[in-house]
Structure 1
Amino acid sequence: MSNLNGAYYGPSIPPPSKSYHRHGRGSSCNPCSCLFGCLCNCIFQIIFTILIVLGVIALVLWLVLRPNKVNFYVTDATLTQFDYSTTNNTLYYDLALNMTIRNPNKRIGIYYDSIEARGMYQGQRFASQNLERFYQGHKNTSYLHPVFKGQNLVLLGDREKTNYNNEKNLGIYEMEMKLYMRIRLKIGWIKTHKIKPKIECDFKVPLESSGRSVNFDVTRCHLDW
């Protein structure tokens, strides 16, 4: 075999292959985020449990007590004076009312700690009176006797004055009485905190005059908690 002159070029040697190691993507938990998530979950479970317990307690109390709405009525009204002077915008009035409060509940008593009665005419207050406090027992009917007598400044617009003149000609006036109360409920030996209900009574009362029979329709009042 003859000798080969010059350099010999054999097949190229491939470069060494680079191997890449891909780390696994397993879930890892940051201690702070894990602690926060567990804390939120515990708080949610506690709140949910408390709501369930309160709901069960409320249901049991309702089944045991069976609370019923207290009813307020204006049973009678006597109006002997109701004169409005356009000269000095003064209303002269003499109004006496009889009211009943019916507590139909068997296990709930009511402390009436304060009662303010307000006489209203066409949205304007013309008189107020503070009534005596009292306690009302179970399935009991109590009586109130607010009396409004005197004179007071009442500003009526043209439309209200027209309404007054129309009612004066008819001899029947549309009025409203509001009761502002602070009460407490007594359930066994437990007394609740003070509640402030508002009672609104809309009624029509005829003006008494000599030789004229006067009838009054019993009016049920609206209770707003």
Structure 2
Amino acid sequence: MSLVSITSPKHCAKQGLNIDRHYKKLFFVFSSFFTTILSLILLIWLIIRPSKPQFSLNQVDIYQLNLSGPHLLNSSIQLTLLSKNPNQKVGIYYDELQVYAAYKGQQITADTTLPPFYQGHEESNLLTAYLIGSGLPVAPSFGYDIGGDQTAGRLLLNLKTNGRLRWKVGTWVSGRYRFNVNCIAVMAFGPVIPAGPLSTKQGNQCSTTI
């Protein structure tokens, strides 16, 4: 004679409750673990407080800056920047770097892309970019503005860098942050055009925003 085991509805309900409690405990454990990890990362971040990178303008050479038509510009500029990571415990990954020149609010060269690189603690790097513009449209007042600067004996250019970076603390690497750098080059620009390029050598600090 075989025995038949019948589970009561109350017993099934208790099993269901036990399973739910088991999953809730697992969820609570994993949630607590991830919350602790995130809190530690945030605490380390607040303690270290990474400083933004510093850029300074080393040299600018203008080889060409003339109109090929009523409102079309040809330009050729070589730029050298000094990039410095001021942090003692934070490295910087530069994932994107695009450099261009601007004059009185208008872009006068095409974007030049620099290769990505990693910058260690308190490390400095020289960045060289060749900025070229061929038949770029400019404002009708461009020729008049250049003539005015030549009369005044001074030419002012903005050398700009846009990109994305990541912070590295130990083995942890942050998400990407967009940054913008603006450098101002002031160059002697007299009525007599020099035989060589217009040049300036200066260590002016550039403004950086993140």
Q: TM-score, normalised by structure 2?
A: 0.70
The AA in structure 1 aligned to 2:207 is H
Question: Which aligned pairs between 1:80-119 and structure 2 lie closer than 5 A?
Answer: 80-85=63-68, 87-119=69-101
Deviations 1:152-175 (A, max 9, x none): 3232243x4432112234554211
Question: 1:221 aligns to what?
Answer: 206
Identity within the alignment, %: 23
Mark the runs of 5 or more structure 2 residues left unpaired by the alignment: 1-34
Structural RMSD (CA): 2.8
Question: 1:75 aligns to what?
Answer: 58
Q: TM-score, normalised by structure 1?
A: 0.65
Question: 1:131 aligns to what?
Answer: 114
Deviations 1:85-104 (A, max 9, x none): 4x431212221111011111
The AA in structure 2 aligned to 1:146 is A
Aligned-pair CA distance for 1:147: 1.0
The AA in structure 1 aligned to 2:99 is A
Bigger share in strand: 2
The AA in structure 2 aligned to 1:77 is V
Moved more, 122-131 or 66-75: 66-75
| Structure-2 separation of matches of 1:126 and 1:213 | 16
Deviations 1:21-67 (A, max 9, x none): xxxxxxxxxxxxxxxxxxxxxxxxxxxxx9xx96x97566443x253
Deviations 1:165-212 (A, max 9, x none): 122345542111221111111000000011111111122234672389
- Of structures 1 and 2, the one scoring higher in RCO (CA 8 A, sep 6+) is 2
For 2:160, which of 169, 178, 182 is the aligned residue? 178
**Is the CA contact 1:126–1:152 (under 8 Å) kept in the aligned structure 2?**
no
The AA in structure 2 aligned to 1:156 is A
Deviations 1:122-172 (A, max 9, x none): 1111221001110000010011111113423232243x4432112234554
| Structure-1 separation of matches of 2:200 and 2:135 | 27
Count residues in correspondence: 170
| Structure-1 separation of matches of 2:201 and 2:152 | 15
The AA in structure 2 aligned to 1:140 is E
